[in-house]
Amino acid sequence: MLAAGKTREEIAGGIIQSVVTKVMALAGRVGTESPILLTGGLAQMEGIRKELELQTGCPVNVSQFSRYAGAIGAALKA
């Protein structure tokens, strides 16, 4: 993409849109309710949160512990 003249910002924006589109497809299987809680390592990326808010029209909350959500769930289940 750089060779095609795209800026790093445009490339990053495209990646963010791609990730959020995939998240939306997966969330569409189970449905969503407002507000949305975003978990996982990518939740710490402000661009992901903002794009998800744009595509859903719902506020998206992120916990400071979001990157540990899977590990916390596994520990509670064990």
Whose CA is closest to 23, among 7, 38, 1, 4? 38
Question: How many Cα atoms within 13 Å fall on the side-chain side of residue 20?
Answer: 20
| Residue 60 to residue 72: CA distance in whole angstroms | 20
25-57 pLDDT per residue, tens: 988 888 888 899 999 888 989 999 999 999 889
pTM equals 0.76
CB neighbour burial string for 17-45, b if at least 16 within 10 angstroms, e if fewer:
eebbeebeeeeeeeeeeeebebbeebbee
